[in-house]
Structure 1
Amino acid sequence: MNITEINNGLILENVKDFNVTHIFDCGQCFRWNKEDNGSYTGVVKNKVINVSQNGSNIIFKNINIDDYENIIKSYFDIDTDYSDIKKSINKDDIMGKAIKYGEGIRILNQDEWETMISFMISANNRIPMIKKVIENLSKNFGEYICTYKNKEYYQFPTPKRLSESSLEKIKDCKAGFRSERIKEAAIRFLNEKDIIYDLKNRSYDEGLEYLKTYKGIGDKVANCILLFSMKQFYTFPVDVWVRRVMQTLYVDKNTSDKEIRQFAENKFGKLSGYAQQYLFYYARELAIGK
């Protein structure tokens, strides 16, 4: 892979296993939106980044070479060999088809705090509404970053800012019944952030049980947080689409979410999280089991 600097951006040449649509539309993130030209614009930390693709070349705009080292390389998991991962989890024809369909998926390394609140908002919610609530929270409580393509962008709000906010102002962001949970999580996070940021170094079971002590975090949300921000790839989050694809192609219709997760973890082991992403994208895009 080569890196070429361009005006206000970078080109990563000959990148394997990278497809912008697969990455941003596989259910793992909510702050990336598709532009009219097919590129995606999103916020990572304090940067607004535009990403597009020309074959195996990935074009990043509104960043520089320092941002590649400080943000891009880790966030987009550039150093991980996804070819090896796909070979390891390709255990049957079903998984083979799912991998082929979403061959360019990469699991992003997202911030624990932002991921935690984002997936609390995601519970029993539709993606457009999830995105809107997160955008509202960022605009009302986050620091202004810049205006890009005629749109203002803001950082995700800090736990301190949300903890000090009135419940009414959080509710004004259309967070609904989740507003109290968000404020409570922010207050608690300030005292326990060292525990949160250390969960990637703890066992999967420890992380799961700890996260579930927060109001509004059940099995599915906890597993999403562990997978998308804490590098716990043993986990296998089960949402409506994963349930449908598993009950249609792998297990009986009456199989519970817990049993589905156990089946997948036994089958795919320490790479279960990667398998979940290919299956989720495959199921949702093709409406499997609907």
Structure 2
Amino acid sequence: MAVRSADWQRLPITLAELCINTTLRCGQSFRWRKSADDEWSCALHGRILSFRQDASHLHYRTLFPSNPTALPTPLPSLASTPPVEDDTLALITHYLNLAPNLTDLYTHWSTSDPNFARRAPKFAGIRILRQDAWEALIGFICSSNNNISRISQMVHNLCKHYGPLIGHVDEEAYHDFPTPEALAQDGVEQQLQKLGFGYRAKYIVRTAGMVRDKGLGWLNALSNPECPQFGMETSPAGDMAEGGREGYRKAHEELLALHGVGPKVADCVCLMGLGWSESVPVDTHVWQIAQRDYKFGKGKHSSLTAATYAAVGNHFRKLWGKEAGWAHSVLFTADLKAFSERLVAKKEVKEEDVEVKIESSGDVVVENIIKTETTRKARVKRAAESEEHQVVKVEERTVKRSRRRKV
């Protein structure tokens, strides 16, 4: 499918206010692809959007389909023709959440929290994306007991097999996200099983059916009225707006009724799909940060239970305020990067190694799927021995060269 190309445009925005390389690969969205030319691209709202960045500007380009009426399963947000007035700038401003002054937010969080002040400066420019709620919901169902690379592959397969083809960039196909109707079809679960989705295949298909029956309007209505979905009007006062925090609680509770959605997945969707920035997703990695830096892990909070999950979120909300989920994501990203760059890592932990699920009966089921301590220690020991072996070899070569020089 050919595309109608647009020239590169640019926005004056510094790396302190937005770092694309960090924001797009820190586990918020799983569909952005980076080219060899440091160009990020993704199909969003019926177009292919591409980004490049330098120290002072964000550069963007939009590619619209030349024949959008030929889309096999057009999304509700897709117009039958490209917009008369290109709304890409409005989409970028919304999606990248560009309105808040990030430097001011970092200053506020650093003043409130010495630990944030120590760790965050090296990870400036991390913004919380405002994604479509439906995409965030399915993406984070895929995140259960998974890592970012594998989640990205799963989401890519969903789009490739069930999403509308938008066009090609450098001969690479880009598909928009599939609709609930597309994922609720007969045979999808079996196909997803073949593609390696495992138990998530059932969750995706069943949740797609529930959202199809309720309508996307139901899901989008759970959004923070201050941060409506792109193209939606702000909710009238007295709707979800009543008592801010109560709106977040209601959205979280409604999401828990969906298949494959526990507290952590619900909080991810609230934060990155529905605009509830006080939402704090607590997975095993965040739990480790809470233990290491915020004195959790003792007494009644010695393990990650439903009560501890709530306590960690409440602690961070009290510490950082209304944008607690955003601040938490900065620390989460800082920790992820730190351990991806070290040869001898801390414990290797997937994004959701512990999943806390509150069943309708009120009972709490904690599924602990961390690899055994013995396995972890063996892996860390092998890494340490490998690094030590390399150091010894270097020292031996240095000694030999020194001896030859003396002779």
- The TM-score, its normalising length taken from structure 2, stands at 0.66
Q: Which residue of 1 aligns with 2:95?
A: 75
Unmatched 5+ residue regions in structure 2? 65-84, 226-239, 241-246, 340-344, 348-407
Q: Is 1:219 the counterpart of 2:219 in the alignment?
A: no
- Structure 1 residues 98 and 63, CA, compared in 2 at 3 Å: closer, same or farther? farther
How many residues in Structure 1 have an aligned counterpart in Structure 2? Answer: 285
Residues 203-282 of structure 1: pairs in structure 2 closer than 5 A: 203-253=247-297, 254=302, 256=304, 257-258=308-309, 259-282=311-334
Between the aligned partners of 2:144 and 2:255, the Cα distance in structure 1 is 14
The structure that is helix-richer by fraction is 1
Q: Which residue of 2 aligns with 1:189?
A: 211
- Structure 1 residues 97 and 139, CA, compared in 2 at 3 Å: closer, same or farther? same
1:284 aligned to which of 327, 336, 342: 336
- Structure 1 residues 211 and 145, CA, compared in 2 at 3 Å: closer, same or farther? same
> Is the 2:62–2:88 Cα contact (8 Å) retained in structure 1?
no
- What is the DSSP-based 3-state SS (H/G/I as helix, E as strand, rest coil) of the residue aligned with 1:97? helix
- What is the DSSP-based 3-state SS (H/G/I as helix, E as strand, rest coil) of the residue aligned with 1:199? coil
Unmatched 5+ residue regions in structure 1? 1-5
Q: Is 1:124 the counterpart of 2:123 in the alignment?
A: no
Letter in 2 for 1:9: W
- Structure 1 residues 244 and 33, CA, compared in 2 at 3 Å: closer, same or farther? farther
> Is the 1:41–1:49 Cα contact (8 Å) retained in structure 2?
yes
Q: Which residue of 2 aligns with 1:26?
A: 26
Q: Which residue of 1 aligns with 2:360?
A: none
Task: Give the 4+ runs in structure 1 shifted more than 4 A.
Answer: none
- What is the DSSP-based 3-state SS (H/G/I as helix, E as strand, rest coil) of the residue aligned with 2:323? helix
Between the aligned partners of 1:243 and 1:47, the Cα distance in structure 2 is 38
> Is the 1:137–1:173 Cα contact (8 Å) retained in structure 2?
no
- Superposed CA RMSD: 2.1
1:84 aligned to which of 98, 104, 107: 104
Between the aligned partners of 2:45 and 2:196, the Cα distance in structure 1 is 23
Between the aligned partners of 1:47 and 1:243, the Cα distance in structure 2 is 38
**CA positional deviation for 1:228:** 0.2
Query: What CA deviation, in whole Å up to 9, does each residue of 1:88-124 have, x standing for no partner?
Result: 2221221113331221111111001111000001110
Aligned-pair identity (%): 25
Between the aligned partners of 1:180 and 1:231, the Cα distance in structure 2 is 27
- What is the DSSP-based 3-state SS (H/G/I as helix, E as strand, rest coil) of the residue aligned with 2:258? coil
- Structure 1 residues 242 and 101, CA, compared in 2 at 3 Å: closer, same or farther? farther
- Structure 1 residues 68 and 97, CA, compared in 2 at 3 Å: closer, same or farther? farther
Letter in 1 for 2:219: I
Q: Which residue of 2 aligns with 1:61?
A: 61
Letter in 2 for 1:186: A
- Structure 1 residues 86 and 63, CA, compared in 2 at 3 Å: closer, same or farther? farther
Q: Which residue of 1 aligns with 2:11?
A: 12
**CA positional deviation for 1:234:** 1.0
> Is the 1:233–1:272 Cα contact (8 Å) retained in structure 2?
yes
Larger radius of gyration: 2
Between the aligned partners of 2:204 and 2:113, the Cα distance in structure 1 is 41
Between the aligned partners of 1:165 and 1:144, the Cα distance in structure 2 is 21
- Structure 1 residues 125 and 245, CA, compared in 2 at 3 Å: closer, same or farther? same
Between the aligned partners of 1:199 and 1:62, the Cα distance in structure 2 is 29
**CA positional deviation for 1:83:** 2.4
**CA positional deviation for 1:229:** 1.0
> Is the 1:116–1:225 Cα contact (8 Å) retained in structure 2?
yes
Greater shift in the superposed pair: 250-259 or 195-204: 250-259
Between the aligned partners of 2:196 and 2:12, the Cα distance in structure 1 is 41
Greater shift in the superposed pair: 76-85 or 270-279: 76-85
Letter in 2 for 1:12: L
- What is the DSSP-based 3-state SS (H/G/I as helix, E as strand, rest coil) of the residue aligned with 1:66? coil
1:100 aligned to which of 106, 121, 137: 121
